[in-house]
Structure 1
């Protein structure tokens, strides 16, 4: 199934960005956890050293006493239930404790241990989760262990909550950034795809035989494709040229034998046989002439010339030329033209041939005593209507194909090769115009040739 390159690129970029963002958030969260843990350890160590500095030994009572600043004393208040401390001697016996729940089986670091760094611990006791630190100290020559701990599930201990909420908080920052990034990705890809869209429009607009897609103006990534397409067009043009030259040469070679054959037909004593032969030869001559016209206009590259061509004059000339033929068939040619010239931008000879072939087609389908109406309308239109059988809807595109003939024409052996309307179509295309067929009022077929009108200023000047 064809896919949109822009949509595919945006999806891939956004997916990659989302993965990168998730990885970044994970790293930030991990880093945030480490930073918070280090900060908590620093706070615990500071509290432990403050406790150690407040320890006093009384020789009179033989007991240890603790003097703490009011802020720290409030922090270790048993009623508060947030922080706890204990001071243990070398044997692990608690000589001072903020409450009885302080566990006695926490890791002990003795002064004479080879481990000289503070030791951390984490325990669950009495519905609390204690995270603490033990540090070895020496007070008045006595080795002691000072332990401090925080109840991490206490409402005032928010560091874990901060860690847990980190992703949610960061998401509010990442979300608009992600949306902005999506817009940037789409805009960037749309900008990158612009040359491809431009090439598509240029390819669709190719009409002349020598027109090609520009290679120098294309990005490096698609230049090989453009080069390959131009090469394919070159091959197709060479093949078409060979066919066109063969058609033209064959038509030229047939002209002389047909002229000789027509001369011999005039010498035949039997007038009826001679007339039939002359009629057939005339039909063959017309086919040859049409082949030559097609070969000529196929090689033509007609660009807007700015030269005014009067459709009214061309229609009058075509009617005058075919009027004797129409009279022999018993068909009346009716010409309806405006008083003023109808000027179009084009080339006279191809346009004359187009109108002439429209009239030939109408005469070929008109019954005896019928009428063929020829109308010229501003700004640039020629209409030819006959009173024949008309063109069925399903055949209205086929009639402009080369050598196409309906089954009825084949059955009645009506002379013609199916080239006249193909010539009209080709001339219309060369002039950036159009040809269409519909039902004529009262029956028959109505062919309408539309051509680009000359600009108003040019018409006035003409």
Structure 2
């Protein structure tokens, strides 16, 4: 519609311009006879697109001639046109039609003057709209074809785009079918950029599959470990039960005679019952640790823990040298037995203190003195043991970081006790054991080390010694004793307290176990206790 109006406006402008001239001059010859206008057709008229009608005002305003056009329909024009009407309607555009009504024309009237006699006459100029209609038809045809081509091209492009898009979704569907069939190794390939929906979908599915695969791997590892755990626990419990049952049957059959044999049998039954009770307690401890029960997070000073553990070892094995070293002091060297040292109780009474009295005195000093304690050494017999508290304690540096960590004091003591039991089990009776306490300022961790000089831990089994019921002695002959749960309890406690445990070689032979816990000033105890575990962390699983 806009194009048609624009073209018609162009025709009207051209028509008004043409009406202001003698439009009939290229077609007619004008003359005047007795005041009347006479027109005749030129012998060689010009070919024009418009039509022109000439009227004579002296002959009743009748039309003298209607000429022009290049064939085709002729407009129906008025038979009469007066000068007054021509002057009044001059410049106005009217619309005419052909006799059959199919063709339309734009027309206007004007008044012209014959030059020779000054005779005025009206003229009507009409321009056909066939060209406009033809242009509109061509436009509609061309643009209809163009629109159809664009529509078809858009349809093909849309189909191609949808096909490519759904091809990626088809890959997602195919991969999902394989995963549903049990193949969890499948992953989405040809990842699109994350700016697209399909790219984000594939990335999310791959992350989900990795997590599901990790969970299933952990489940499988847990099931295998649980089966091995149940088998080992059954074997460990069956061994003392078989011994107890055997002695009971011997007694029932009368094979045990005399007080000496009965006493020997009862002694063996008691020892096996004690061993079975220890095993059951260890199993219960592991179960509680797995459930994260009974763990109370409070600030714990590692120095009294190390000192008390040394006292326990000295009471159980008086001939074994035990050294406690606090590396947070200026002088990290352990005190020597030759140095002059006195215990508070012996200084007052003037008599050599026993091991128990020295332990009590030391504990009382630890309670009264929260400052860092120096390194000490305990060895020799009970009567010759040097006390653990020197007469004058070296002062700690002003900027020293004390090894006060976040943890459960009873659990940490159990960790140190188990590590010391392991060190005693795999070293000679007179082999020294060192306990070291310190702080790692970089990681903000307080640590305690148990250093022995025994057999050491080969590299190939360092990852296995923390597994439940695992022992280097696989023959179950009990040459070194133990049920294989001590170090697994250590690992479980350290994990529950969000610490770390590592084993390295001791220079000169032996093993060094270091357990580390976050310092008390690293975070609040409540925040530390609320740290979630990682349920999808893969378990270390030994091959069957």
State the TM-score, normalizing by the size of structure 1. 0.47
Higher helix share: 1
Q: Relative contact order (alpha carbons < 8 A, sep ≥ 6): 1 or 2 greater?
A: 2
